[in-house]
């Protein structure tokens, strides 16, 4: 029974990598799935960041902790963690 589970996991992992390699053909353009996912995440994140900055600017006297939390959460998506290289 454990062999069946291992095979199933491997098949799902291969399917996930194959789905990233697919391309969508729309009219005259060819776009990869990875590019579409990244660009849509970037646009949505940019909209949320813009909204947060506008709300902080419009209401500087109120409690803006939720907007600062949104900003820091979105920034962690695009900033890679530092790597420590042992020499």
Domain positions in the chain are 33-79
Q: How far is CA 77 from CA 2, 40, 74, 83, in A?
A: 35, 13, 5, 16
Neighbours of 84 (CB within 10 A): 5
Q: What is the pLDDT of residue 83?
A: 83
Q: What is the pLDDT of residue 72?
A: 93
Write out pLDDT tens, residues 3-55. 555 545 555 555 555 555 677 776 777 778 888 888 899 999 999 999 999 99
Residue bearing tokens 């391309």: 23
Q: What is the pLDDT of residue 86?
A: 79
CA distance 13 to 18: 9
């Amino acid at each position: 029974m454990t062999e069946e589970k291992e095979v199933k996991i491997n098949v799902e992992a291969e399917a996930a990598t194959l789905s990233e390699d697919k391309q969508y053909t729309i009219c005259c353009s060819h776009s990869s799935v990875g590019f579409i996912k990244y660009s849509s995440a970037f646009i949505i994140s940019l909209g949320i960041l813009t909204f947060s900055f506008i709300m902080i600017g419009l209401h500087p006297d109120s409690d803006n902790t939720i907007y600062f939390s949104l900003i820091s959460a979105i920034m962690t998506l695009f900033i890679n963690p530092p790597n420590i290289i042992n020499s």
